[in-house]
C-alpha cells in the first residue's frame, strides 16, 4: 500500500479523513473532507464529487490503520490514493494545524 509522510504533504493536497464523528469534531486538518470509514461505501458518491479528478487523494485517520483500508479500496476503484503514515497523531506532533468543528484549536482523540 503506497504511503506518504506527513512532512511530504503540501497545504493544497487533498486530504480525506475517515475517522468517526467524535474524532473529527475534536480536531482535524482544516480543509479535509470527512467521511467516516463506517459510512464510506454508502457515501462514496459524496467523495467522488469532492475529490480531484486528476490529483492524488491522501487518506488519513488517527494512526494509519483505517486510512490504509480506505486507501486500498480507492486504489481498487482506480483512484490514485495513498495512506498518510502515522495519521493525525503524527500530523499534530509535526505541528500541523488542528481545528475543531467550530474552527477553533482542536486536538487529536
Per the structure, how many domains does the chain have? 1
Residue 9 domain-assigned (yes or no): yes
Residue 109 domain-assigned (yes or no): no
Active site residue 61: yes
Residue 33 domain-assigned (yes or no): yes
Residues of the domain holding 16? 3-93
pTM of the full structure? 0.96
Helix intervals (H) in 38-84: 44-50, 65-76
Residue 103 domain-assigned (yes or no): no
The per-residue pLDDT for 10 is 93
- Residue pair 82/58 in contact (Cβ under 8 Å)? The answer is yes
Q: Which of 15, 18, 57, 61 is catalytic?
A: 61
Residue 98 domain-assigned (yes or no): no
The per-residue pLDDT for 1 is 76
12-22: per-residue pLDDT in tens? 999 999 999 99
Q: Which three cell numbers stand for residue 63?
A: 494512526
Q: What are phi and psi of 3, to 5 degrees?
A: -125, 160
Residue 106 domain-assigned (yes or no): no
Residue 31 domain-assigned (yes or no): yes
The per-residue pLDDT for 53 is 87
Average pLDDT score over residue span 7-11: 94
CATH code (residue 78): 3.40.250.10
CA angle 20, 79, 91 (to 5 degrees): 45
Give the SS3 label for residue 38: helix
53-99: per-residue pLDDT in tens? 889 999 999 999 999 999 999 999 999 999 999 999 999 999 999 99
Residue 101 domain-assigned (yes or no): no
Amino acid at each position: 500500500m503506497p504511503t506518504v509522510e506527513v512532512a511530504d504533504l503540501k497545504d493544497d493536497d487533498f486530504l480525506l479523513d475517515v475517522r468517526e464523528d467524535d474524532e473529527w469534531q475534536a480536531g482535524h486538518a482544516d480543509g479535509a473532507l470527512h467521511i467516516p470509514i463506517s459510512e464510506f461505501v454508502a457515501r462514496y458518491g459524496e467523495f467522488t464529487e469532492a475529490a480531484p479528478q486528476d490529483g492524488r487523494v491522501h487518506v488519513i485517520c488517527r494512526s494509519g490503520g483505517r486510512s490504509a483500508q480506505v486507501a486500498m479500496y480507492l486504489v481498487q476503484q482506480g483512484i490514485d490514493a495513498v495512506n498518510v503514515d502515522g495519521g493525525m497523531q503524527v500530523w499534530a506532533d509535526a505541528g500541523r494545524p488542528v481545528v475543531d468543528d467550530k474552527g477553533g484549536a482542536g486536538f487529536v482523540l
